[in-house]
Amino acid sequence: MKKTVLILAAAVFVFASVNAKEKKSKKDKNAPAPVCCMKVFTNNVDSMSYALGMNVGADFSKNLKAIPGGKSNIDLLIKGFATAMKGDSTLMTPEVATEYFRNYMTNAQKAETEAKKSEGEKFLATNSTAPGVIVTPSGLQYKVITPAEGPKPTAKDTVKVHYTGTLLDGKVFDSSVERGEPIEFPLGQVIPGWTEGVQLMSIGSKYKFFVPYNLGYGEQGTQGGPIPGFATLTFEVELLGIKTYQEPAPEPVAAPAAAPATKKAVKPAAKPVAKKK
């Protein structure tokens, strides 16, 4: 059932992509006319089947790169796929295949994680002895690129910065500099490496931070994003402004309402005592 859903989903994706491309080409009057309804084989079913396989294969090839280690045997993958599609006898039962794939992914992810963690630890150990690099008790490393004097922000303040964040391989994963627009945020609401590091800066200064994974995005990274788990990160940060946190004024306490005055009971006038005759 799952395989059927996967095939149908792939087909829907292909046809949706084709439909989107056709709409896009209609909007662009200068675009060349698409080649439509080309029959490569002797009948339409064969041509459609080949086209579907080609599109699904191209998309599947991109997804293979997400497998830990990025390695796979394409020939055996195609052989297993074709055998299962035809219903022929396979070298593994579906249960064994599922279990093997699950175990492989678990072990490969673990190995990849350990490699990433080890890479960061080795980098930080070497970098800690580099000229100008200072290591704080938490393990954060930084280097002053442009010094400046003046007040420094606290964790409660809002800061305005320009920054560029990179992975150890030099790949930029985020940059306000490239966007051409600085960013403001409360300093206590970002990763610990930033909260600690930016408090060392004064307006006009520029620092380079080397952030261990435990002061960054942790063991998980940004799931589905550009930062993997256990990633050591580097940031070049320029502090442009500080908005000092203001304690909210205490709300005035309303005075207790005065108790209503109690009315004194009025004693009835005493009746005159009749004189004895």
User: The tokens of 84 are what?
Assistant: 């299962």
Write down the pLDDT at residue 5. 39
Same domain? 104 vs 201: no
Write down the pLDDT at residue 223. 80
Catalytic positions, please? 163, 173-174, 191, 217, 235
Evaluate if pTM is beyond 0.75: no
Same domain? 19 vs 103: yes
Same domain? 101 vs 146: no
- Residue 165 placed within a domain: yes
Question: pLDDT confidence of 230, banded at 50, 70, 90?
Answer: very high
- Residue 235 placed within a domain: yes
Question: pLDDT confidence of 129, banded at 50, 70, 90?
Answer: very high
Same domain? 17 vs 108: yes
DSSP, collapsed to helix, strand or coil, labels residue 172 as strand
Question: pLDDT confidence of 268, banded at 50, 70, 90?
Answer: low
Mean pLDDT of the chain: 83
Same domain? 230 vs 160: yes
Domain that holds residue 39: 2-112
Dump strand ranges (E) for the chain: 134-135, 141-146, 158-166, 172-175, 183-186, 206-211, 233-243
Beta bridge partners of 183: 161
**What CA–CA distance (Å, rounded) separates 59 from 262?**
86
Out of 33-42, 52-61, 69-78, 195-204, give the one with best mean pLDDT. 195-204
Per-residue model confidence as pLDDT tens digits over 73-97? 888 888 888 888 888 888 899 899 9
Question: In angstroms, what is the C-alpha Rg of the chain?
Answer: 35
DSSP, collapsed to helix, strand or coil, labels residue 238 as strand
Question: pLDDT confidence of 61, banded at 50, 70, 90?
Answer: confident
